[in-house]
Each structure stands twice: as structure tokens, then as C-alpha cells.
Structure 1
């Protein structure tokens, strides 16, 4: 087993990741050496907040995907688990309360600007591509109630007297 990285190597990786994020033009916070909270923007999942954290032996990648499904948890988790066979660098996982994340670890020796770009691209595309189907599976009842409520509002607006 290799020894944990020293301060100089941690600083080098910190600079490498900072430069890569600046070059990518993504919004991020840098709360501590080796810790970055990156905001990835999408079309379906509008924002995916993603941690990049330099650990002793790996770069941790962790992004919140969605809350625990309100219904059809097995179907939702099964759908996302089936996606893991085709992912690179990160995979869908759940925490102890059932919330869903994209998580992964990359050896520090593999961390380059290109790899940071690739990992963030994967997180962004996996989150965006799978968000609508996962929400539809895990929150179908809430979506239907929202549609009914909006339809009722539209119907009521059409019959309500207009102010003069």
C-alpha cells in the first residue's frame, strides 16, 4: 500500500484542478485545499452540484442526483442501477435514507486536466440524461397531482370573470 500524499502533492493537485476548472469555465467554490464544489448546468436537471475532493489516495467525485423516491423506489433504483453498466468514472448510488448520488473515485495518479473534464462531463450528462425518467418513476403521483392542479387553474381562469 502506498503512503498518503504529502502537502506538496496535495498543493500540486489543487492547482491542477483549479486551473482545469478555470479553463472549463464552470462555476465553482473552493472552500479548502483539494476541495471543490462545482456547479454543472443542464437542460433537464438544471444544476448538479458536484464535489471534487483530493483524498489520501483518490480523487472523490460526488454529486447529488435526487431525493429518495416517494413511490416505486425499486423501479427507480433498478432503472438507475441498470445505467451503471455503461458509466465511466462515476456510478449511481444511494445513501442511508435513499437519496441518490453519482459517486466515484479516481486514483490520484490518473488526475489530469483532461480527466477532470471527462469526469465532470460524465456527471453532467448522466445527471441530465437520466433525471426526467428517474423523476417520472419515483414521483409519478406528485407529477399527476401537479398536472391536475394546473389543469384546474387553467379551467378556473377560463371561467372566471375578467376585471374591467
Structure 2
């Protein structure tokens, strides 16, 4: 399909998203923007806005909020990866939140390019998610682990960060029905 108009590009984009099984919906305020949800394994989902302009398809996807700490290391980590990405790059907004942003010329738009672009977005938001959280939020993760442990709450969704909580956190705790066995976690 030769892209001649914005409407042609929008139709190609809709068709390509449907073809690869990506859930999407039109943006409420702009008929030329589609909002896609890319399911992940580390990050539950990555929301990706795809806007058809006069000459380009713009992509914008949220990765993580502004890191609480270790900003230089987080931003350096992101910048070192930018040269490996297709069609997008890591970017920081005025608040310090991290996004993937990019543009592809409409005359280069094909279903394969859409698929590759979405694959790059998903891989670049999902694969490094735990690393980025560890770099930018280690103190908060430690506090959360400690708080949950003291209350006997589950730390299951923090298991990837057990090494941050100290040696005791890395040891498996006896559990029944997903709950710690009384007396084995330091509580009565």
C-alpha cells in the first residue's frame, strides 16, 4: 500500500496493529492518534501513543517516572542504549520521567516497520524495567520490602529485588497458601 495521505497511513497503522494482535483504541482528543497497549513480562504493560502527522508517524511510550535517586547513573544507562534502538530513543520530559520517543517517515511506513517499531518499544520498556527500578528506586524498594516483611505481607512482586533487602530476604521462607508460616518470618 502506497502511503499518499494521513488517512492512508492511519489505515495502514490500524491494520498493522490488528495483524500483530496489539490492543489499541483511538485517542479521545485526536482522530490521528492511536493508543496501543503492549503487554510485558517485567512491566505489566507499556502504553504507546502512535500519532500520524503530515509527514511522520510519531511514537511516544512511558517507561518509568522520574527516578528518586542515582539520576546520573539512570540517564547514563539510557543514553548508552540509545544507539542500539530502531526508530525511537530514550527521552526525559520536563519532570524527569523517562519515555521512548521517535518518528518514522510516512513514506517508509509498512506493516513490517510498525511491527519492528512496536517490538523495539516493548523490548526497550520491558526488558530493562527491573534494572531501571533498581538503579533509580533502590531505597524505596528496600523500605517497601521492610514494611511488607514486618507486616507479614507478600513480597512476591518484589522478588526480583530480594538482593537489595539483604541476605535474609534472599532466603526462601516457608509458606502455606502463599502466606508465611507463623513464627518462620520473625513474627509470632
Aligned to 1:111: 109
Q: Within 5 Å, give how 1:139-158 maps onto structure 2.
A: 139-154=137-152, 158=183
Structure 1: which 4+ aligned runs deviate by more than 3 Å? 157-160
2:136 aligned to which of 110, 135, 138: 138
The equivalent of 1:70 in structure 2 is: 68
Gaps of 5+ in 2: 153-179
For 1:13-32, list aligned pairs within 5 A: 13-31=9-27, 32=30
SS at match of 2:128: helix
Structure 1 unmatched runs, 5+ = 1-7
Q: How far off is 1:10 after superposition?
A: 1.2
| TM-score normalised over the length of structure 2 | 0.77
- Per-residue Cα deviation, 1:105-150 (whole angstroms, up to 9, x for no partner): 1111111111111100110011111111011010010000011112
Map 1:46-65; keep pairs closer than 5 Å.
46-65=44-63
Q: Does the 8 Å contact 1:26/1:40 carry over to 2?
A: yes
Q: Which has the higher helix share?
A: 1
Question: Per-residue CA shift, 1:29-58, capped at 9, x if unaligned?
Answer: 113432110000000111100011011221
Aligned residue for 2:127, secondary structure, equals helix
Distance 1:33 1:17 in 2: 13
What SS does the aligned partner of 1:70 have? coil
RMSD of the TM alignment (CA)?
1.7
Q: Distance in 2 between matches of 1:26 and 1:122?
A: 14
Number of matched residues? 153
